[in-house]
Chain A
Amino acid sequence: MKKILVIIAHNLRLIAADRSTLFWLLAMPIAFTFVLGLAFSGGGGGGGSTDPVRYGLTVANLDRGPQGEALLAAIEAAGKIDLLPIDGADAGDTALELVQKGDRSAALVIPPDYSERLARRERVTLTFHRNPERMNPYVTRQAIDEVLTRLRAEGTAGIGARTAYAELRGEPPPELAERLSSRASAYVAENWDPPSVTVAAERLGRTAGSDVPSMGFNHSSPAMALMYVLLNGLMMSIALVDERRERTLARLFTTPVARSSIIVANLGWRFVIGMLQMWILIAFGGLALGVDWGDSPVGLVLVTVTYVAAVAGLSVLLGSISRSSRQAQSAALVLSLTMCALGGLWWPLEITPKLYQAAGHAVPTGWAMDAMHNLVSRGYSLAGVAPQALVLALFAIGFTVAATLTFRHE
C-alpha cells in the first residue's frame, strides 16, 4: 500500500514538472468553457441574460376578416413570440416551404375563412408547420395554444353573459346583447390569469425542462470539464508507453512490488489528476461563471468519481495496447473527440436524432453529460443521477479489467 502511494506521488511529480501541464489541464478547458458558453448563451443559465427568451414564429394570415389580425395581435401581445409575417396570396405555401427547407423552425397558417367560420361558430383549423429537429416549435405552439384558449374563454364569456340575461329577464335587445357580450369578454381579457397552477420550467424533476436543453455556462461548464478530463486522461496513456520504452516499467517489475500494486498505482495517479482537474473546473464554474451545480453534492461526487475512474481505466488500457507513443497520442485524440461529439458535450444530445442519442449512450460521456444536465439544469436529487453513475461505474470496471488483462512491461 505504501509503495502504491509512493508510485502515485512519483508520477504526480513527473507530471507536475512538465510545464505544459497547467495549460492543458486548466487553461484550455477554461477558455473553451467561455467560448462554448457564449455560443450557447441564447438560453438561460448562470451568467446568461435574464430577459425572457423570445422565439421567432413565421405567420401567413390568409383570413379575409378581422379575427386573424386579432389573433396575431393577441399572440404578439403575450410577449413571448416575435412574429415573422409573410404576405401575398401564396403566403401559406411559402411558409410551408420555409419550414421544409429548415430556414424556419415553425409556421402558423390562418385559413381564409377563419373569421367567417368563427362568426358562424363553426370549428376552424389553424395549420402549424414545424421542423421536428428544432426545439422552438414546442414553445411557440404552447404560446399559441395559450392565446387561443384565452380568446375562446373571452368568446364563451360573452355568450354566457347573454344567455344568463335571457334566462333571467328574457331575450335582450340586440344593442344590449352586444354590450353584454363585449363587457364579459373584456372582463375575461382583463382578469385573464389562466395558470392558477403554474408549471415552473426549472427544478421540478423529470418532466421539467426535459425538452429544452440547458444552455450557456450551465452546459459549457460541465461539458468542458468532462471533455478535458477525458482528453488529458487519455493523453496520459502516453506515459505508460514511455515507461515501457524507457524500460523503467520492466525494472519496476523486478522490484518486490506486486503486479496488482503497479496497476493500481497507474490507475491511481491518473484518477488523482482527473479528480483534481474536474473539481478545479467545477469550482471555477460555480464561483466565476455562476453555474449552480445542483442540490445533490453527493450525486455530483458520485458522478465525477465514476466518470474519472472510467477515464483512468481507459487511459491505462490505451497505454497497454498502444505500441508507440504516437499511436497512443492519435488514439487518445480520436477517441476523446469522438466521445465528446457523441456524448453531447459540444451540442446537447436532446437536439440530436434518436440514433445519435443511442450512440451517445454507448460511450461514458453521454451518461456523464446526462447526469450533469440532471444535476445542473434539472435539479435532480441523488436518485436522479444514480442510474448514470451506475453505468459509469460499469464502464470503469470494464476498462479496468481490460487494462489489467493487457498490462505489460515490454
Chain B
Amino acid sequence: MRGEPIIEVDGLVKRYGQLVAVDAVSFVVNEGEIFGLLGPNGAGKTTTISVLSCLTPPTAGTAKIAGLDVTRNSLAARSKIGVVPQEIALYPTLTARDNLVFWGRMYGVPERTLAERIDELLSVVQLAERAGGRIDTFSGGMKRRINIAAGLIHRPDVLFLDEPTVGIDPQTRRSILDLVKDLNASGLTVLYTTHYLEEAEFLCDRVGIMDEGKMLAIGTRAELTTSIGATTSIDVRADGLDDSIVDWLSSLEQVTDVARDGDDLTINTTAEANLLPVIVERLAAGGAKVHSVDVKVPNLESVFLHLTGKSLRDEGDQDAAATKTNALHG
C-alpha cells in the first residue's frame, strides 16, 4: 500500500428492481495504486464504476473519492476523476481534437492550457498525426485511445477504466496496458475493471474479485493465492527416479505433497522459486536424467475457481484469453 485511501467504498448496494447488481461491496483504493475489479459478465463492475463516477445513485452504502461523497458532494468528486467508459463515448462527427476540446471545457480546463494539453495527450496515445481526423473514420483501437485521452484531459487524481481492451487486437491491447502502467508510474491512481485475469495479474497491485454483485476477495495476487491455500505444482519427468528422492522431498518444509508414477514426479509446494534449483541439483546428483520440468503457478483463475466453483473463462473466451497471455508475456 503506497499511500492514503483515495477511493473508499463501504457497504455499497445497487438494486435495479428485484435484481441486486451490487451487493454490499466494500473496498479501498490507495493513492498510486492500480486496483483491479475482476469478474465475469454481469458481476457488477460497471455498476460499481457508475456509482463511483456519480452516474447512478447507490441504493445503500457510501462511496467517497478523495474524501468527497459521490452523492452529497457529486460535482467536487467528479472533478477529481477521469472516466473511461466501457463503450466509446465520443462525438463521431467531430475530430479527435474537437472532442478533446469539448471534454476539456466540460472539465473546466483553462483555455490557455487546453491546446497544449491536448497535444501532449494525443502524443501520449500516439495519435498526434490523426488529431484532425473525424472519430467516425477511426479504427476501434484508435477510438479506444481517444476515449482514454478524454478521461485524462483534466489531469484527474483517479482514473476509472472500464474494460478498455475489449474487442481490440493484441497489439493495441498491449499498448493500452503499457499506457496504463506509464500513467500509474507518473502518479495516477487507477481503478481498472476486466474479466481477463491475465490483465489483472499483469497490471494490478491489488485485485478485488467480484461475482454476481458480491466482492468475494481482495488482495495482491500472492495474498489471494495463499489465502485459498493454493500451491505451485512442479511436474518433473526424468529417468532413474527412485523412492529415496520422494522421501527426501517429503521431508522438506515447503513441500506439501509428493507423488511418483514411474518416470513422472509431481511436487506441490508453497515456495516454488527457492525449491526448483534445489530439486534439479539433487536429481542430477542422484544420477537421474531430467527430460522436462513443468511449473504450474497458482493464478487468479485458481482463486476464482476456488471462490465460486466456476471458471472465469467462459467457453468462447478460452482461446482469446490464451492468445492474450502470449501477447502479454511473450
Contact B85 A251 (CB under 8 A): yes
Contact A14 B78 (CB under 8 A): no
Contact with A along B78-105 (1 / 0, CB 8 A): 1101010101111111100000001101
Q: Which residues of B contact A255 (CB under 8 A)?
A: 78, 103, 106-107
Contact with B along A174-204 (1 / 0, CB 8 A): 0000000000000000000000000000000
Does A252 have its Cβ within 8 Å of any Cβ on chain B?
A: yes
Does A409 have its Cβ within 8 Å of any Cβ on chain B?
A: yes
Question: Please, how many angstroms separate the alpha-carbon atoms of A9 and B90 in the complex?
Answer: 17
Does B76 have its Cβ within 8 Å of any Cβ on chain A?
A: yes
Does B54 have its Cβ within 8 Å of any Cβ on chain A?
A: yes
Q: Which residues of B contact A254 (CB under 8 A)?
A: 53-55, 78, 81, 83, 85
Contact A248 B89 (CB under 8 A): yes
- What distance in Å separates the Cβ of A372 from its nearest Cβ neighbour in chain B? 36
Q: How many A-B residue pairs have CB under 8 A?
A: 57
Asked if A256 meets B89 with Cβ closer than 8 Å, knowing A251-B103, A409-B55, the reply is no
Does A117 have its Cβ within 8 Å of any Cβ on chain B?
A: no
Contact B54 A247 (CB under 8 A): no
Asked if A256 meets B85 with Cβ closer than 8 Å, knowing A10-B102, A14-B91, A409-B55, the reply is no
Contact A247 B89 (CB under 8 A): yes
Residue of A nearest to B102 (CB): A10
Contact A6 B105 (CB under 8 A): yes
Does A17 have its Cβ within 8 Å of any Cβ on chain B?
A: yes
Contact B106 A6 (CB under 8 A): yes
Does A253 have its Cβ within 8 Å of any Cβ on chain B?
A: yes
Q: Which residues of B contact A257 (CB under 8 A)?
A: 106
Q: Which residues of B contact A247 (CB under 8 A)?
A: 85, 87-89
Q: Which of A1-30 contact B (CB under 8 A)?
A: 3, 6-7, 10, 14, 17
Does B75 have its Cβ within 8 Å of any Cβ on chain A?
A: yes
Contact B53 A248 (CB under 8 A): no
Contact with B along A252-284 (1 / 0, CB 8 A): 111111100000000000000000000000000
Question: Please, how many angstroms separate the alpha-carbon atoms of A410 and B85 in the complex?
Answer: 13
Does B150 have its Cβ within 8 Å of any Cβ on chain A?
A: yes
Question: Please, how many angstroms separate the alpha-carbon atoms of A117 and B218 in the complex?
Answer: 113
Does B108 have its Cβ within 8 Å of any Cβ on chain A?
A: yes
Question: Please, how many angstroms separate the alpha-carbon atoms of A334 and B108 in the complex?
Answer: 40
Does A246 have its Cβ within 8 Å of any Cβ on chain B?
A: yes
Q: Which residues of A contact B75 (CB under 8 A)?
A: 256, 258
Q: Which residues of A contact B106 (CB under 8 A)?
A: 3, 6-7, 252, 255-257
Q: Which residues of B contact A17 (CB under 8 A)?
A: 93
Q: Which residues of A contact B94 (CB under 8 A)?
A: 14
Question: Please, how many angstroms separate the alpha-carbon atoms of A409 and B50 in the complex?
Answer: 12
Contact A251 B89 (CB under 8 A): yes
Question: Please, how many angstroms separate the alpha-carbon atoms of A410 and B56 in the complex?
Answer: 10
- Give the residue of A248, A253, A258, A410 whose beta carbon is less than 8 angstroms from that of B90: A248
- What distance in Å separates the Cβ of A10 from its nearest Cβ neighbour in chain B? 6
Question: Please, how many angstroms separate the alpha-carbon atoms of A255 and B102 in the complex?
Answer: 11
Contact with A along B36-57 (1 / 0, CB 8 A): 0000000000000000011100
Does A298 have its Cβ within 8 Å of any Cβ on chain B?
A: no
Asked if A250 meets B91 with Cβ closer than 8 Å, knowing A6-B106, A10-B102, A258-B75, the reply is no
- What distance in Å separates the Cβ of B30 from its nearest Cβ neighbour in chain A? 22
Main secondary structure of the interface of B (DSSP, over half): loop
Question: Please, how many angstroms separate the alpha-carbon atoms of A410 and B16 in the complex?
Answer: 13
Q: Which residues of A contact B78 (CB under 8 A)?
A: 254-256
- What distance in Å separates the Cβ of A45 from its nearest Cβ neighbour in chain B? 43
Contact B102 A246 (CB under 8 A): no
Question: Please, how many angstroms separate the alpha-carbon atoms of A257 and B102 in the complex?
Answer: 13
Contact with A along B237-253 (1 / 0, CB 8 A): 00000000000000000
Residue of B nearest to A10 (CB): B102
Q: Which residues of B contact A409 (CB under 8 A)?
A: 55
Question: Please, how many angstroms separate the alpha-carbon atoms of A71 and B83 in the complex?
Answer: 88
Q: Which residues of B contact A253 (CB under 8 A)?
A: 54-55
Question: Please, how many angstroms separate the alpha-carbon atoms of A409 and B107 in the complex?
Answer: 18
- Give the residue of B76, B83, B105, B108 whose beta carbon is less than 8 angstroms from that of A251: B83
Residue of B nearest to A249 (CB): B89
Asked if A248 meets B107 with Cβ closer than 8 Å, knowing A254-B78, A256-B76, the reply is no
- What distance in Å separates the Cβ of B162 from its nearest Cβ neighbour in chain A? 11
- What distance in Å separates the Cβ of B314 from its nearest Cβ neighbour in chain A? 25
- What distance in Å separates the Cβ of A3 from its nearest Cβ neighbour in chain B? 6
Question: Please, how many angstroms separate the alpha-carbon atoms of A250 and B54 in the complex?
Answer: 10
Question: Please, how many angstroms separate the alpha-carbon atoms of A248 and B90 in the complex?
Answer: 6
Question: Please, how many angstroms separate the alpha-carbon atoms of A247 and B89 in the complex?
Answer: 5
Question: Please, how many angstroms separate the alpha-carbon atoms of A253 and B103 in the complex?
Answer: 11
Question: Please, how many angstroms separate the alpha-carbon atoms of A248 and B89 in the complex?
Answer: 5
Question: Please, how many angstroms separate the alpha-carbon atoms of A246 and B135 in the complex?
Answer: 12
Asked if A250 meets B93 with Cβ closer than 8 Å, knowing A255-B106, A256-B79, the reply is no
- What distance in Å separates the Cβ of A111 from its nearest Cβ neighbour in chain B? 77
Asked if A250 meets B55 with Cβ closer than 8 Å, knowing A14-B93, A255-B78, A256-B75, the reply is yes
Q: Which residues of B contact A6 (CB under 8 A)?
A: 102, 105-106
- What distance in Å separates the Cβ of B136 from its nearest Cβ neighbour in chain A? 10
Question: Please, how many angstroms separate the alpha-carbon atoms of A10 and B92 in the complex?
Answer: 13
Q: Which residues of B contact A7 (CB under 8 A)?
A: 106
Question: Please, how many angstroms separate the alpha-carbon atoms of A164 and B147 in the complex?
Answer: 105
Question: Please, how many angstroms separate the alpha-carbon atoms of A10 and B87 in the complex?
Answer: 22
Contact with A along B110-138 (1 / 0, CB 8 A): 00000000000000000000000000000
Determine which residue in A247, A254, A409 has the highest number of CB atoms from chain B within 10 A of its CB, and name it.
A254
Q: Which residues of B contact A3 (CB under 8 A)?
A: 105-106, 108
Question: Please, how many angstroms separate the alpha-carbon atoms of A409 and B83 in the complex?
Answer: 15
Residue of B nearest to A7 (CB): B106
Question: Please, how many angstroms separate the alpha-carbon atoms of A6 and B105 in the complex?
Answer: 8
Q: Which residues of A contact B79 (CB under 8 A)?
A: 256
Question: Please, how many angstroms separate the alpha-carbon atoms of A10 and B83 in the complex?
Answer: 21
Question: Please, how many angstroms separate the alpha-carbon atoms of A298 and B75 in the complex?
Answer: 40
- What distance in Å separates the Cβ of A257 from its nearest Cβ neighbour in chain B? 6
Question: Please, how many angstroms separate the alpha-carbon atoms of A253 and B107 in the complex?
Answer: 11
Question: Please, how many angstroms separate the alpha-carbon atoms of A12 and B251 in the complex?
Answer: 78
- Give the residue of B88, B91, B92, B107 whose beta carbon is less than 8 angstroms from that of A256: B107
Question: Please, how many angstroms separate the alpha-carbon atoms of A410 and B46 in the complex?
Answer: 13
Question: Please, how many angstroms separate the alpha-carbon atoms of A410 and B50 in the complex?
Answer: 11
Determine which residue in B76, B79, B90, B106 has the highest number of CB atoms from chain A within 10 A of its CB, and name it.
B106
Question: Please, how many angstroms separate the alpha-carbon atoms of A252 and B108 in the complex?
Answer: 12
Top 3 nearest A-B pairs (CB, nearest first) are A247-B89, A251-B89, A255-B106
Sample (18) of A-B pairs whose CB atoms are under 8 Å apart? A3-B106, A7-B106, A14-B91, A14-B93, A17-B93, A246-B88, A246-B90, A246-B92, A247-B85, A248-B89, A248-B91, A253-B54, A254-B53, A254-B54, A255-B103, A256-B75, A256-B106, A258-B75
4 other A-B residue contacts (CB within 8 Å) besides A255-B78, A255-B106: A3-B108, A10-B102, A14-B94, A256-B75
